[in-house]
């Protein structure tokens, strides 16, 4: 649980700090690789890929998802990969939740081609999910080979 806590805290601090820096200093698009990639600040009222749910459903979904991830992390078998995966998901989610508390928006700023603009918290969540998925796939394959 210690590694899970450290990774969660680090992901939260990194994602929220990046949001504060973007809010303070990023006021127009900065090209990093021409028109393909850059830093472009936007205020995102939605959830994944800018989707918005009506009424209080969006907030309810966010809280329920976070609770489910934390419960799953606590109940899972301890592994370095699992602690990293769950920690990145929880820290990134908390970063986006705290960002949203002030004005109802999340600050997104990484623009890559036509992919939806995202932030550090989104990246943490994505990498965390990829780690858990890879761990799950490898576990199934290893168990299959043992038979």
- The pLDDT tens digits for 49-71 are 778 888 788 888 888 999 999 99
User: Which pair of structure tokens corresponds to residue 19?
Assistant: 């949001």
Residue 143's pLDDT is what?
Answer: 72
Q: Which of 23, 83, 103, 122 is catalytic?
A: 122
Residue 71's pLDDT is what?
Answer: 93
- The pLDDT tens digits for 7-17 are 999 999 999 99
Q: Clarify whether 99 is annotated catalytic.
A: no
| 41: phi then psi, degrees, rounded to nearest 5 | -75, 130
Nearest one of 28, 26, 45 to 96, comparing CA atoms: 45
- The pLDDT tens digits for 70-126 are 999 988 888 999 999 999 999 999 999 999 998 889 999 999 999 999 999 999 999
Long-range pairs of 101-106 with CB within 8 A, sequence gap ≥ 24: 103/43, 104/45, 105/43, 105/44, 105/45, 106/19, 106/43, 106/44, 106/45
Residue 139's pLDDT is what?
Answer: 83
Q: How many domains does the chain have?
A: 1
Of residues 15 and 48, the one with the higher pLDDT is 15
Residue 22 has pLDDT above 90, yes or no: yes
Q: Which of 23, 83, 99, 108 is catalytic?
A: 108
Enclosing domain of residue 84: 2-146
């Amino acid at each position: 649980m210690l590694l899970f806590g450290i990774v969660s805290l680090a992901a939260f601090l990194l994602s929220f700090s990046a949001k504060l820096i973007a809010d303070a200093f990023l006021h127009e698009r900065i090209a990093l690789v021409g028109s393909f990639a850059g830093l472009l600040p936007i205020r995102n009222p939605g959830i994944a890929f800018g989707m918005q749910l009506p009424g209080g459903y969006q907030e309810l979904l966010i809280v329920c998802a976070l609770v489910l991830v934390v419960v799953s992390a606590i109940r899972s078998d301890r592994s370095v990969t699992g602690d990293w995966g769950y920690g990145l998901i929880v820290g990134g989610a908390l970063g986006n939740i705290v960002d949203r508390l002030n004005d109802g928006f999340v600050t997104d700023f990484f623009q890559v081609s036509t992919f939806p603009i995202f932030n550090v918290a989104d990246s943490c969540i994505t990498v965390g999910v990829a780690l858990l998925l890879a761990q799950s796939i490898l576990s199934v394959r290893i168990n299959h080979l043992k038979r």
